[in-house]
Each structure stands twice: as C-alpha cells, then as structure tokens.
Amino acid sequence: MQGGAYSSYSDIELTGFLKLDDQLAFIEIYDRYQGLLYIYACKIVKDKDLAEDFVQELFIYLWDKRHTINLKSSLSSYLYSTVRYKFFDWVDKQKVRNDYVLAFQSFLDKGENVIDSYIIEKELTSIIEMEINRLPAKMREIFLLSRKQNLNNNEIADYLNISEKTVRNQISNALRILRTKLGLLAFICLLHNL
C-alpha cells in the first residue's frame, strides 16, 4: 500500500494495521494527531517544551505497546487520555521530587546548624580548656577539683590541706581571670558545661 492511501483509512483500520507492525499506519496516526495533541498538551501544561515532550512520549509509548493496545473507545479519546495521564504522572513526580527537595533542604538546614553548633561548641570547649590550663598551677588544681570533680570548698580544703577561705579565694580569682580572658559568652558556657 502507498503512504497517501492511509489518509483514507479510519482510526479503527489504522489501529489494526498498527498492531501488525505497519509503520505507515503509525506515521498516518502521528500526522493525523500530533499537531492537535500538541495544542491540547500546551493548554494543559502551559509549557511548549514540556507539551512537546508529552506528545513525543505518547507516540513512543503507542509504538512500543502497538501489539497490546486495546481501545475501549476511539483512538482520539485514547490519545487525549494518554496525554492527560502523562500530565498527571508528571505532576505526581514533580510533587514527589519537590517533597524530596524540601525534605533534603530541611535536613541540610538543620544538619548544617547541628554541625555548626557542634563545631562551635568544640572550638569553645578547646578555648576554655586552654585558658584553664593557663591559670597558675595551684589555682588551676583547685578550680578543676571544684568544677570537674564537683567537690565542695570544704572537701577541697581537706584534700589539699589548706583553708576553706583559700579555696574560696582561688575559685573566685580563677572565675574572674577566665571571665576577663574568655568574654561573657564563653564564660557563661564555662559555667554551664563545667
């Protein structure tokens, strides 16, 4: 059969030829519906490139499924329905993609804050430890017994065989020195963490 003769066939006849791997029948269906389906897809998606993609995917799908195609209505209804299906499928994928993007962005935002906070805390702890280590030896020992070992002034005095007043003065001096060297924010962290 000649290609021009296909234009006189009905959609039902073309579909029958298509099932028999007739490429000319496929070309006739394409020529007959491609322009109309493109206009229809443009009205649905408002994006010419996306509309063109939908129509091209539709015809690829039609050729791939030519042996199993089972029209319950007219060929045109089937083609228009398939464009709508492709649109809804695309919308679902976009929603899933957007949900993943939002979830991933949220993770990044929170993760970045957690990581930033962790890094800041580690740096701050390091600075505090360095300043504690710079205290005079006896003052540092008393301060660490108070803050790290959680001993009270009386226990420290007994342990080091010194007066409780000396312990109080040494802790007070240590706090004053650290507050001066660390600044208010780090000093508050020191009091909170130690």
**Domain range list for the chain:** 3-99, 134-193
Q: Are 2 and 65 in contact (CB under 8 A)?
A: no
- How open is the CA angle 59-62-63, to the nearest 5 degrees? 90
pLDDT at 160: 92
pLDDT at 108 over 50: yes
Q: Which of the four pLDDT bands, split at 50, 70 and 90, describes residue 89?
A: confident
Backbone φ and ψ for 181, nearest 5 degrees, come out as -75, -35
Does the domain formed by 3-99 have CATH 3.40.630.30?
no
User: Residues 115-121: contacts with CB within 8 Å, 24+ apart?
Assistant: 121/189
pLDDT at 150: 85
Give the mean model confidence (pLDDT) for residues 56-69. Answer: 91
Residue in this structure with the two tokens 């791997």, named with its chain if needed: 21
pLDDT at 107: 58
Q: Are 30 and 59 in contact (CB under 8 A)?
A: yes
We find that the CATH architecture of domain 134-193 is Orthogonal Bundle (1.10)
Closest C-alpha among 27, 29, 24 to residue 12 = 29
pTM summary value: 0.49
Q: How far apart are CA 133 and CA 137, in angstroms?
A: 8
- Mean residue pLDDT of the chain comes to 81
Q: What is the pLDDT of residues 145-179, one digit of tens each?
A: 988 888 899 999 999 999 999 999 998 898 888 77
What angle do helix axes 11-19 and 75-133 make, rounded to 10 degrees? 60
